[in-house]
Chain A
Amino acid sequence: MISLKNVAKWYGSFQVLADCSTEVAKGEVVVVCGPSGSGKSTLIKCVNGLEPFQKGEITVDGISVGDPKTNLPKLRSRVGMVFQHFELFPHMTVMQNLTLGQVKVLGRSREEALQKGMKLLERVGLSAHKDKFPAQLSGGQQQRVAIARALSMDPIAMLFDEPTSALDPEMINEVLDVMVELAKEGMTMMVVTHEMGFARKVARRVIFMDAGRIVEDAGKEEFFGTPRSERAQLFLSKILHH
């Protein structure tokens, strides 16, 4: 479904991604972790073309992201994305957030979009908040709305960029629960996160990045059991023991 081949990216002369290759198969959940500044967020933003890359190739459902002839808006409309800081549109109500893309991009009628929006809000447990503005919701609620907004486009895959990093600890689980449920339904997911509990529960593979490189790309058991790279061992020992 998602395939990266030797992707490299520079900011000026500074190389942020080097020779990154991996695959995410249909229905697979892949967790990307690693220390800050290792390029995880940049990598996932390359997948739907929010960040340009200079070398290599990324394809989503067989369509090349880096090809200038690719209709990027169309491709992006088929890939859902959830951001660290939610990025709901603060000047629109929750329901308007959920219908904007459906109406403007997919060309759905208002009624159809409202119905779909309502169904998704029920699913994330927030239907009572449909007419509120994002600022009136807690962080966890905002992130659930953001997930619902991404799902409203009926995506073929979902990208999560540190979806729980900006949340208060007590709100992390309500977001993870939604994500776990989504994974169990067979959604193709690429998730940048430090939540190793989530990785253990639903990930099939874990990718570990350091300094712009994919250092480890292994099955979940292997990664948590006996990571091959020293860097991954060190990282795991630091984040798992408290």
Chain B
Amino acid sequence: MFAGYDFDVIQRSLPYLFRDGMTFTVTLTLIAMSGGIVFGTLLAMMRLSSFTPLSALSGGYVNLMRSVPLVLVIFWFFFLVPYIGAWAIGANEPIRVGAFWSAAITFTMFEAAYYCEIMRAGIQSIPRGQVWSGYALGLDYWQTMGHIVLPQAFRNMVPVLLTQTIILFQDTSLVYVISATDFLGAASKIANRDYRLVEMYTFVAVVYFIISYALSQVVRRLQDRIAVIR
């Protein structure tokens, strides 16, 4: 059945696939996750604000990001970021932003919309009385959020945040539209160069599956251990 296939190509290209490709993918995932959670949490706080302009702004942003295809956002950002950057710093020419940083900014901003909804649910899951008792002690809004609400909300939501991160990890493969060399991109280059499409794409699928599945198992284990006991 496997006659005519050359699986050796995988072994030959392993260093390139992992040292270049996987490093790109993992770094991008980690940056977008951290940035996305921070930005998403701010968006969630804005969205829950009683000050209407703030909540409307955040709501609009989240709905916009969640209503457009990710590929489109990556593509648009890649072309727009140099111009926006130039406008922001007042340069005459579009600034140079590499594929990596363009992707990092895009994924951070896009994922923030999803992390926002998760953190919003997390914040809303904290009983009102917790906020009251923080205020009653004399803590202000930021102290109450920082010491009482967010630590609990975050811990309650870690499993969901990680699940979203697994999706993010898979979604980073969409950077192929800007010809970035992530794990899939690297494999794709080898596949086309050596004309070993079946072998390379099968390997890529197996690797994505193993990593994602292992992470989801970690999430399952965490679920029981990390929740705040009331």
A149–B140 alpha-carbon span in the complex (Å): 17
**A74:B138 contact, CB within 8 angstroms:** yes
Complex interface: chain B residues within 8 A of A78 (CB): 138
B interface SS class: helix
Q: Which of A91, A105, A153 contacts B228 (CB 8 A)?
A: A91
Question: Which chain B residues lie closer than 8 Å to A133 at the CB level?
Answer: 229
- Nearest chain B residue, comparing its CB with the CB of A102: B137
Number of chain B interface residues as a range: 20 to 34
Range of interface residues on A (Cβ < 8 Å):
20 to 34
Residues of B within 8 A of A100 (CB): 137, 139, 147
Q: A101-B139, A105-B139 are in contact. Are A87 and B229 (CB under 8 A)?
A: no
Query: Does A81 have its Cβ within 8 Å of any Cβ on chain B?
Result: yes
A83 touches B133 (CB 8 A): yes
B147 near A73: Cβ-Cβ < 8 Å? no
Which chain A residue lies CB-closest to B151?
A: A91
* Closest residue of A by beta carbon distance from B155: A91
**Besides A81-B136, A89-B133, 20 other A-B contacts (C-beta < 8 A):** A72-B135, A76-B138, A77-B138, A81-B132, A83-B129, A83-B136, A85-B129, A87-B129, A87-B133, A89-B130, A89-B147, A89-B152, A90-B152, A91-B151, A101-B138, A104-B143, A105-B138, A105-B143, A150-B136, A150-B137
Name 8 A/B residue pairs within 8 A (Cβ), A-sorted.
A72-B135, A76-B136, A87-B130, A89-B147, A89-B148, A90-B229, A100-B137, A135-B229
Residues of B within 8 A of A (CB): 127, 129-130, 132-140, 143, 147-148, 151-152, 155, 228-230
